[in-house]
Amino acid sequence: MIQVAEIVPDSNVMAAGHPVNIDELERLAGIRVGQDSLLRLNFKEIEKRLFQNAWVESVQVSTRLPNAVSIHIGLKKPIALLQDSKDGLLYYLDEKGQKIGVVDLSWSPDLPVISGKFDAESARIGEAVEIIKAWEIYGVKNLATISEVHWDASTGFKLMILYSISINGEKTVARTVLEAGRKSGFLTENNAGRIEKVVQYLMTNWISASRLFLLADKKIVVRSARGS
């Protein structure tokens, strides 16, 4: 009979207040300690039950003779939060742009929010996720962070970005909107480099910009907070 059934979730993802808890995973695994036989365990069924939890990304079941079972569970890492225009709820999104679950306020990591009306534009959610991933891959995140990616059917993507400047010797956070337009895949490596140079200039010269416009001819127009 099984005497030890160990659940090992991904410690790199799981933290205090995480929506997934050990009790829930143990319930789904359904292993009855002191009753089930190690030789009769159906690993496929255990995996199938655990995948009922939307947070579970991978499952590896192994045995340790004579009477122990160990289940290593990989958890999805949320990359953004989605403000759903249909039901008004806030959801965790994975790197594929799929909903993981409704945001639990006891565990709300500092992630960019994706917003907009996606009724007939669900593909735009995936594009917004790709923007967030590219922002990090191309290194722009080292200078400026994205707090929100908003989709508007008439004007396209708008990114609310944050960067640090110094005013009267004190560091403060400047907020600006990057108007990126409707074109998919606009955040290429070249465009990311241009954005990075502009942000670096703003930071160096202590400029708080109200708008940045990424134009079709690959230029970036800056509108300062003073309207110049």
Are 132 and 148 spatial neighbours (Cβ–Cβ below 8 Å)? no
This prediction's pTM: 0.83
Instruction: Write down the pLDDT at residue 4.
Output: 46
Confidence of residue 40 (pLDDT cuts 50, 70, 90): confident
Q: Is the pLDDT of residue 228 over 50?
A: no
CA distances from 195 to 75, 91, 100, 115, 123 (A): 33, 29, 31, 22, 25
Give helix then strand counts, H and E, for the chain: 4, 12
Percentage of the chain exceeding pLDDT 70: 86
Span between the terminal Cα atoms of the chain, in Å: 76
Structural domains in the chain, CATH included, are: 4-75 (3.10.20.310), 81-224 (3.40.50.11690)
Report how far residue 30's alpha carbon sits from residue 51's, in angstroms, rounded to the nearest whole number.
13
Instruction: Write down the pLDDT at residue 10.
Output: 67
Q: Is the pLDDT of residue 165 over 70?
A: yes
